Structure 1
Amino acid sequence: MSDQPTAPPTELRQHHPRDRGEILGMGGMWLAKWSLCLVLIAAGGWVVWTLLGVLWVAVLPVLLAIVVSTVLWPPTRAMTSRGVPPGAAAGITLIAFLGFFGGIIALIVPSVVDQAPELANKASQGITQVQEWIKGPPINLQDDQIDSAVQAIIHKLQTSAQAIATGVFSGVSAAGSMLVTLTLVLVLAFFFIKDGPRFLPWLHSVTGGRAGRHFEAVSVRIWDTLGGFIRTQALVSFVDAFFIGLGLIILGVPLAPMLALLTFIAGFIPIVGAFVAGALAVLVALVAKGWTTALIVLVIVIAVQQLEGNVLQPVLQSRTMKLHAVIVLLAVTAGGSMFGIVGAFLAVPVAAVVAVVIRYIGEQVDLKLDDRDRDAGTEADAGAEPATEPGDLATAD
């Protein structure tokens, strides 16, 4: 009789059902832990927000300078790659930038000065025509009713003047004055584009190897996203301003160059800016040329905005922003309500930066999960029993 090795006896494991209170306790502990984490995150966010409010005078020029630097960096980089010293390249780019916008303003201001009195006269005539129209059928308002309505509107505007001025100039007044802020923005932008390539190595050395790697990756993505947004939005705004301005010039609407420039600037505030600039163009056409011209301008504005919203924005912005239109609208509304025009302008870039950080954190979490699954699979393969029992390999005598 041959001796065959036998498998060790298998111990039966008894499964005791868990108590219901134990399951509820585990869920309660999980909820309490995450609630505490959320409270701590909210407290940290409140501290950061408070510091931002205290340091807003210094933070605002830095944010605006970063946005301006994304526009000025490509020509500066092109010159430095051809051997131009960084300081000279940054100075040439900044002077060309100021000269470009200064030339545009110099070309527009004389036409505004010449046409403003005529537009004011047209506006007064238009108000008179509207008063005559509402006196007739089917409205049939009397003079005293019209006067009371006008006085109520004037009183409302006077009582709201301080609030309106605060909402419009809150971002600029927080930095002292527009001139000081603009000067500081230009100085900071000069140093950013001059010494920008030194920033990432310095950040990496300060934060250390592990954290520096993440900071560097996130910084590069944020810079690419901001640069892509500003350049793409500038292209979209230029298309809007060109076609709307061309239509205004053909129709003979006064202040057409200024309205085109305002359309270009307002285009950097997505959704809201285009609507406000288009409404202003229609209003000027109505006052200066009448209902027919105003309706034609309205059709032009709607057609251009449909081209922007259905063709340019989805094709161009989707590659850089990857933000839903609802998020953009909410960001612009929140930024404008808290910081005025400057907040509305910076709202979308800030939302894009937050989205970049969230996506990067998600990618790192996915990598950690993949590594853990891979390690778990390796351990399972190493601890698996062989498919052939030892007794099967034994041979009888």
Structure 2
Amino acid sequence: MSTRPEIPVGVEIATAWAWRLLVLGAAGYGLYWLLSFFSEVSVPIAIALLGTALTIGAVDFLERRGLPRLLATAIVVLTMLSLFFGLIALVGQQLSTQFYDLKAQVIEGISQIQDWAQNGPLGLSDSQLTRYVDQVQDAIRTFGETAAVDQLAAVGTTLTHFVTGFFIALFASFFFLYEGNRIWAFFVALFPQAAREKVHTSGETAWHSLTSFVRATVLVALTDAIGIAVAAWLLGVPLALAIGVLVFLGAFVPIIGALLSGLVAVLVALVAQGPIVALFMLAAVVAVQQLESHVLQPFLMGRFVAVHPLAIIIAIAAGITVSGIVGALVAVPLVACLNGIVRHLAAEAGAPLQEDGLPEDIPPDADTDATPEPA
């Protein structure tokens, strides 16, 4: 009579977890593939959710003051559109007036580098260096002319996708602001009756985390943009307003976004004003980053969103790996929402979490691996 071989308990537990994790991973990959396939719709919807989280407070405020919600939504949407296009007009005006001067300064700087390389301590020969420098100068002179002709089809396709996504995000934002509660109620009704209450409360918690994250991020981004743009203006760096807008947009990717966009300001200062001004610009960027890292991020993100900086960095890296810039933009809000849902469900189960992630009935310095002593 054959007997069933005895399998260690640890192996049984590991295999039980393994197949479940495989199923979850397959489901997650399937969802990612679906969202990527419909990216022309899913990305604008995600941007619309972020915009709704930012402006929903203004709509609620106007409604409490007696305006019909439809009118309040229209006022907020039109105001945001006016600010958006006004900012684009200001940046475009600055680019049109200063970009060609900046190109001339770049060409002059290249010529100075060429003279230094030939007559300075390097003593390089004339022929090869001159050929390479002439190629770079020609490329800079013709930038925006031949490139536009050669890539007209690609630019047209990209512009079409952008316009389509813009209108999808615009209309989605309008209806999210106007009747988001009805849309959410329809979504909750798709779940079984027994699960609807937890789905509804988890969604409310996730929405609270998302609105807190977006508002905190806007404050951080605005501080970074003003600080770096004012420093660029005081140092006489060209395109100060455009740099401020770039920093503001880049700061929506926490921790690294404003730093990378701030380095653009350092590069422009190096090209236009030389290494001394570039060093001052770099010092200003570092000072703004220190303010963000040690004051704004701990106070705003830690207090309102409760996401650890290490989790933010890992989420950004994973988002960039999976979906590039869009992934970096969406990763941290997604982590903030998941963090809020986990804490909410833990509290519903009777084991609310502390700031360090442990249940409240376990002190932070407790030895969780210790074996209880027999009575």
Report the TM-score, using the length of structure 1 for normalisation: 0.76
Partner of 1:73: 56
Q: Which range moves more in the overlay, 279-288 or 98-107? A: 98-107
Whether contact under 8 Å (2:41, 2:165) holds in the other structure is no
Partner of 1:313: 297
**Shift in Å at residue 187 of structure 1?**
0.4
**Shift in Å at residue 49 of structure 1?**
2.4
Cα distance in 1 for partners of 2:122, 2:334 equals 48
Cα distance in 2 for partners of 1:142, 1:323 equals 57
Relative contact order: is structure 1 or structure 2 higher (C-alpha 8 Å, sep ≥ 6)?
Answer: 1
1:63-142 pair list within 5 angstroms? 63-135=46-118, 137-142=120-125
RMSD of the alignment, in Å?
Answer: 2.9
Asked whether 1:256 is paired with 2:240, we answer: yes
The counterpart of 2:334, out of the listed 335, 350, 361, is 350
Cα distance in 1 for partners of 2:305, 2:278 equals 34
Cα distance in 2 for partners of 1:336, 1:297 equals 27
Whether contact under 8 Å (1:57, 1:176) holds in the other structure is no
SS of the residue 1:84 aligns to? coil
Task: Tell me the number of residue pairs that the alignment of Structure 1 and Structure 2 aligns.
Answer: 333
The counterpart of 1:207, out of the listed 165, 168, 191, is 191
SS of the residue 1:207 aligns to? coil
**Shift in Å at residue 348 of structure 1?**
1.5
**Shift in Å at residue 81 of structure 1?**
1.7
Share of identical aligned residues, percent? 31
1:33-44 pair list within 5 angstroms? 33-44=16-27
Cα distance in 1 for partners of 2:57, 2:288 equals 29
Q: 1:337 to 1:32 in 2, by over 3 A?
A: closer
Asked whether 1:54 is paired with 2:58, we answer: no
The counterpart of 2:209, out of the listed 225, 228, 246, is 225
Q: Which range moves more in the overlay, 92-101 or 30-39? A: 30-39
Read off the aligned partner of 1:57 and give its amino acid letter.
E
Q: Which range moves more in the overlay, 358-367 or 285-294? A: 358-367
Asked whether 1:240 is paired with 2:224, we answer: yes
Partner of 1:328: 312
Q: 1:325 to 1:130 in 2, by over 3 A?
A: farther
Asked whether 1:277 is paired with 2:261, we answer: yes
**Shift in Å at residue 204 of structure 1?**
4.3
Cα distance in 1 for partners of 2:221, 2:214 equals 10
**Shift in Å at residue 93 of structure 1?**
0.5
**Shift in Å at residue 197 of structure 1?**
2.7
For residues 256-282 of structure 1, what are the alpha-carbon distances to aligned partners after superposition, in whole Å with 9 as ceiling and x for unaligned? 111111111111112222122111101
Cα distance in 1 for partners of 2:295, 2:16 equals 47
Whether contact under 8 Å (2:202, 2:345) holds in the other structure is no
Partner of 2:361: none
Q: 1:109 to 1:30 in 2, by over 3 A?
A: closer
SS of the residue 2:8 aligns to? helix
Whether contact under 8 Å (1:203, 1:215) holds in the other structure is no
Partner of 1:338: 322
Q: 1:346 to 1:46 in 2, by over 3 A?
A: closer
For residues 125-178 of structure 1, what are the alpha-carbon distances to aligned partners after superposition, in whole Å with 9 as ceiling and x for unaligned? 112222333345554433455468779999xxxxxx9xxx9xxx9xx95x9611
Partner of 2:287: 303
Cα distance in 1 for partners of 2:116, 2:322 equals 40
Cα distance in 1 for partners of 2:334, 2:26 equals 20
**Shift in Å at residue 40 of structure 1?**
2.1
Partner of 1:389: none
**Shift in Å at residue 298 of structure 1?**
1.0
Segments of structure 2 that go 5 or more residues without pairing to the other structure are 138-146, 353-375
Read off the aligned partner of 1:251 and give its amino acid letter.
L
Cα distance in 1 for partners of 2:162, 2:332 equals 22
Q: 1:28 to 1:188 in 2, by over 3 A?
A: same
Segments of structure 1 that go 5 or more residues without pairing to the other structure are 1-20, 155-160, 369-397
Cα distance in 2 for partners of 1:180, 1:245 equals 31
Partner of 1:45: 28
Report the TM-score, using the length of structure 2 for normalisation: 0.80
Q: Which range moves more in the overlay, 94-103 or 136-145? A: 136-145
The counterpart of 2:9, out of the listed 23, 26, 36, is 26
